[in-house]
Structure 1
Amino acid sequence: MNVQEREQLIKDINVLLHQAYDSTLNQIHALLKRIDDVDDEEDLKAIKETREDIRINGTVSWDEIQNEIRNEINKDVA
Structure 2
Amino acid sequence: MKNAQSEDIATSTKEALLKAIYVELENAYEDTLEEILELLKIRRSEDEEDIKEYHAALEDIKTNGTIPWLQAKREIA
Assess same fold via TM > 0.5: yes
Map of 2:52 onto structure 1: 44
Which stretches in structure 1 are left out of the alignment for 5+ residues?
58-78
* TM-score normalised over the length of structure 1: 0.67
User: CA–CA distance in 2 between the matches of 1:47 and 1:14?
Assistant: 35
The yes-or-no answer on 1:14 pairing with 2:22 is yes
1:56 shift after superposition? 2.0
Query: Which structure's CA Rg is the greater one?
Result: 1
Aligned structure 1 segments of 4 or more residues deviating by more than 6 angstroms: none
The structural deviation recorded for 1:19 is: 1.3
* CA distance, structure 2, for counterparts of residue 55 and residue 19 of structure 1: 53
Per the normalisation by structure 2, the TM-score is 0.67
1:1-78 equivalences in 2 (<5 Å): 2-57=10-65
**Identity in percent:** 28
Aligned-pair Cα RMSD in Å: 1.3
Q: Which runs of 5+ in 2 are unaligned?
A: 1-8, 66-77
